[in-house]
Structure 1
């Protein structure tokens, strides 16, 4: 199987991939998720003509030739109601959000009065409808409130609750089983024997899954043992996606691909022309998506960003599956890789003419420091170093300060 370019591999992975079925969730549990139903307004908002400010409810016809004195016949707070309709020469003290009394057709700002309690002097004229929010002016009952594909945030939560919705249908989060392979791997809570390293790939992938909107299932790491790898795949039976790290190259102890193929994996790609992360397995095992990532920590992070994250976002229903793309000017040269796209960790800063990106020094697939100091990835075309000062497209992992 020949090597695919970065862009070809991304297309192969995403083509034919649809969002998962919806599920009904409490609205507050669905924040950040993708709406899977259309929501119509149940009520008029506002539900009645109400005051846009604190002041006095009046009849506009009574205020010709100000100043005018009116008799105050009551107070209408927010949530209250007038005791009787307003008559000629009368006013109600009224507060923001309170329903406008019958007979009133305007509200005078309290700043334009003497704030009288029994009688009030009004110092200006008003037009009918002034300072009144009409019923249904924001959203009339029956109008489309939210459409499928909307990401639920604070404003959407407010709208749903305002219309009596405590539950909503959203696209189900993809469930992702994660395991690492390698005889050298140890648990984080055990005394580290000589020659062993703690498995950091699995928790890193789990964190990346959380951030992408998926639900990770962290399985124990396994040695280079086909039987143990089989057991991990069996344990992932209830998941939509399986992501493993290590064991996908061509070494004597790289069993992951062989085990998957023996179980009927329909491999879509194996090697991708990128650095880091050339050995990459992707395919389908029945209804499950399978990703076999390299074993080096930086390769895991880079290949997850390039390939796994977009797939998880598509399954979760998001329209924008890739990280935001920004144009940034390079502060130093970005080296190229022979025959492969070089994914370099960079740091963004605001310059006098826009975004600037500085490629982190001494990058290698086993060195995590570059990723720790980065907030973007800089893709460098094969065999084409990018000079300092060149404006390039970068993948924004987060904006500075966030």
Structure 2
């Protein structure tokens, strides 16, 4: 069977993915908007700050009244944060004011409390303050109508604070791709379940769902089926009816007798073949009820590498997230590779700015994958590389 080059297969998955790439916008409450990506620019409906307010606890004054110090001024009340329409400040007087409180009309400076001391029924000002000192002018942060947040921005806590400060309760974000994850295999049980002889915990469901979420998708279902194609069809019907726009499966696509994904989808036109890579050679893709399905091998390492290479870039691009990066790094230790097939070896960055392999090419070495932070892309014609040789790496 002819092996498909990695780049060619990636192009096929991109073409399959085209039906879900153009995302509409949706409005979500800002309390639920963390890590979502803005679909349009956001302009502030208000001046920020909304009104003139005090930067310090202290005394609001006319700057002209404190041009010469020390000076004692009578105190005419107090303005606390949340005060509504405080009385105008008369010349020759001061008013106690708290941080964030509205500065009364007439006052044009605030003297911090540490620059004062009590003086009978008034306050003694010990330091001069010029007009505007410790007064936050309305709109000094941002004027109403100005750009608050650009489109394509992944929202973090600081962005949500700006939205809330502008009195916005919701924000337009890109709709996320709704993904269903299905693991196949009679040998699999839910993690934490009873393990009889020959049974294995399903590592793919949680891993692929987590990877999809990190890539900006919304996981709508995580299912575990056996080796029965009819049961797989029922799960597909349920998840697609439940809103899945993309289905990711693991296992069931090899040449054996119990390959439910292949048995169900190949007669419906799915392409099943081998990509020129190790691990992760067996791959398949197609549609079911017009919904794209991307089918990865069952070995956890193979499925994770396949996701990183073929789906993560598309999901991140669609979500507006930063692209998966490739970086050329020097080897910190010698590298060997099996001839004849392109290898994606697990690697980790080293303290000297290089990279080293974590383990061999085996697709079952899931603990080694956990210790890796990059994949080392080794061409098929390379069997060994010395320390210092430059290799292409893919961020995990």
In the alignment, what sits opposite 2:388?
Answer: 389
In the alignment, what sits opposite 2:375?
Answer: 377
- After superposition, the Cα gap between the structure-2 partners of 1:350 and 1:138, relative to the gap in structure 1 and judged at 3 Å, is farther
- After superposition, the Cα gap between the structure-2 partners of 1:293 and 1:111, relative to the gap in structure 1 and judged at 3 Å, is same
Question: Which has the larger displacement, 325-334 or 102-111?
Answer: 325-334
Is the 8 Å Cα contact of residues 336 and 342 (structure 1) preserved in structure 2?
A: yes
| TM-score, reference length from structure 1 | 0.85
Distance 2:254 2:376 in 1: 25
Q: CA deviation at 1:347?
A: 2.7
| TM-score, reference length from structure 2 | 0.86
Distance 1:187 1:227 in 2: 21
SS at match of 1:260: helix
Is the 8 Å Cα contact of residues 178 and 244 (structure 1) preserved in structure 2?
A: yes
Q: Report Cα offsets for 1:297-321 as digits up to 9, x if no partner.
A: 2111111111122233344x22424
Is the 8 Å Cα contact of residues 81 and 98 (structure 1) preserved in structure 2?
A: no
Is the 8 Å Cα contact of residues 179 and 244 (structure 1) preserved in structure 2?
A: yes
Count of residue pairs the alignment pairs up = 389
In the alignment, what sits opposite 2:247?
Answer: 242
In the alignment, what sits opposite 1:123?
Answer: 126
Distance 1:231 1:190 in 2: 23
- After superposition, the Cα gap between the structure-2 partners of 1:81 and 1:115, relative to the gap in structure 1 and judged at 3 Å, is farther
Is the 8 Å Cα contact of residues 106 and 131 (structure 1) preserved in structure 2?
A: yes
Q: CA deviation at 1:79?
A: 1.8
- After superposition, the Cα gap between the structure-2 partners of 1:112 and 1:332, relative to the gap in structure 1 and judged at 3 Å, is same
Q: Report Cα offsets for 1:136-175 as digits up to 9, x if no partner.
A: 1112222232233222221222222223332333223322
Is the 8 Å Cα contact of residues 225 and 232 (structure 2) preserved in structure 1?
A: no
- Which structure 1 residue ranges, 5 or more long, are not aligned? 398-402
Distance 1:74 1:335 in 2: 80
Superposed CA RMSD: 2.9
Distance 1:390 1:34 in 2: 39
SS at match of 1:275: coil
- After superposition, the Cα gap between the structure-2 partners of 1:337 and 1:137, relative to the gap in structure 1 and judged at 3 Å, is farther
Say whether 1:293 aligns with 2:292.
Answer: no
Q: CA deviation at 1:240?
A: 0.9
SS at match of 1:259: helix
Is the 8 Å Cα contact of residues 72 and 117 (structure 1) preserved in structure 2?
A: no
Say whether 1:221 aligns with 2:220.
Answer: no
- After superposition, the Cα gap between the structure-2 partners of 1:12 and 1:147, relative to the gap in structure 1 and judged at 3 Å, is farther
Is the 8 Å Cα contact of residues 24 and 169 (structure 1) preserved in structure 2?
A: yes
Distance 1:220 1:84 in 2: 69
Distance 2:118 2:273 in 1: 78
Q: How does 1:1-400 map to 2 (within 5 A)?
A: 3-14=3-14, 16=18, 18-80=21-83, 83-114=86-117, 116=119, 118-186=121-189, 188=191, 191-213=194-216, 214-223=218-227, 225-238=228-241, 239-254=244-259, 256-257=261-262, 259-265=264-270, 267=271, 270-285=273-288, 287-315=290-318, 317-322=319-324, 324-325=325-326, 328-351=329-352, 355-384=353-382, 385-390=384-389, 392-397=391-396
Q: CA deviation at 1:380?
A: 2.6
Q: CA deviation at 1:337?
A: 4.4
SS at match of 2:160: helix
- After superposition, the Cα gap between the structure-2 partners of 1:209 and 1:116, relative to the gap in structure 1 and judged at 3 Å, is farther
Distance 2:86 2:31 in 1: 38
Distance 2:32 2:298 in 1: 34
